[in-house]
Amino acid sequence: MARAANTLRIIGGELRGRKISFPEANGLRPTPDRVRETLFNWLQIQIHGARCLDLFAGSGALGLEALSRGAAEVVFVERDGRVLQRLRENLALLGQDKGHCVQARAEQFLRGPAEPFDIVFLDPPFRDDVLAGLCASLAADGWLNEGFRLYMERPQRQPMPELPAGWQVLRETRAGESLACLIGGG
């Protein structure tokens, strides 16, 4: 018997209170409301007009929240075609034409031509140990605008990956088994 679709609520901005659904998928765990609220409080000055990259889009919770709060554009990267299709449907349902979906693995996407972003959401499935490599690719290959912000979420038991030169942790919060931080540089 199929399980009912999961839902989440957008917590701020013009889409506040709107609910979206997303399919069951291995490793898919949307960032909880409380953590999203904290993150977007941290980003309140940078989010309006920002170009954002949601590198492990999943449900789209972070990118949709960014669009709701005034981001100029969000590129959603997701490897699971079924999950990405639902995200496309949710963007259409919410009337969001500033969201662009790309089906690819994060590493594959970052091997393409660099497009600089102001804000990057980096929240891979917890079973994947890819943070250090992805940070190195983002730093070395022209993916980040000066003054960028990068949100990273990882299991508390996983050590902080070595950050590229010039990057620093600006803020940090814990929720359940997760440790989330905001990193800045440039």
Residue 89 lies in a domain: yes
Q: What is the mean pLDDT of residues 160-181?
A: 90
Residue 1 lies in a domain: no
In 3-state terms, what secondary structure has residue 140? helix
Bridge partners (DSSP) of residue 122 are 152
Q: What is the mean pLDDT of residues 98-120?
A: 95
Residue 141 lies in a domain: yes
Residue 99 structure tokens: 């969201």
User: pLDDT tens-digit profile of 72-106?
Assistant: 999 999 999 998 999 999 999 999 999 999 999 99
**pLDDT at residue 79, as a whole number:** 92
Residue 113 lies in a domain: yes
**For the domain that residue 145 is a member of, what is the CATH number?**
3.40.50.150
CA distance 147 to 117: 10
Round the average pLDDT of the chain to a whole number and report it.
88
Q: What is the sign, positive or negative, of the torsion defined by CA atoms of 25, 158, 169, 139?
A: negative
Q: Is the per-residue pLDDT at 6 higher than 80?
A: yes
Higher pLDDT, 24 or 54: 54
How many domains does the chain fold into?
1
Q: What is the sign, positive or negative, of the torsion defined by CA atoms of 142, 147, 149, 150?
A: positive
Residue 152 structure tokens: 């990273």
Residue 61 structure tokens: 């919770």
Residue 173 lies in a domain: yes
Q: Count the residues in the chain.
A: 186
**pLDDT at residue 105, as a whole number:** 94
Residue 11 lies in a domain: yes
| Band (1; pLDDT cuts 50, 70, 90) | very low
Q: What is the mean pLDDT of residues 168-172?
A: 94
**pLDDT at residue 3, as a whole number:** 36
**pLDDT at residue 186, as a whole number:** 61
Q: What is the mean pLDDT of residues 46-68?
A: 94
Dihedral over alpha carbons 56, 61, 66, 67 (to 10 degrees): 110
pTM of the model: 0.90
CA distance 166 to 139: 10
User: pLDDT tens-digit profile of 138-152?
Assistant: 998 789 999 999 999
CA distance 156 to 101: 30
CA distance 122 to 98: 19
- For residue 20, what are the domain limits? 6-184
Bridge partners (DSSP) of residue 153 are 180
Q: Is the per-residue pLDDT at 5 higher than 60?
A: no
Residue 37 lies in a domain: yes
**pLDDT at residue 18, as a whole number:** 83
Q: How far is CA 10 from CA 102, 123, 125, 167, in A?
A: 22, 18, 21, 30
Residue 103 lies in a domain: yes
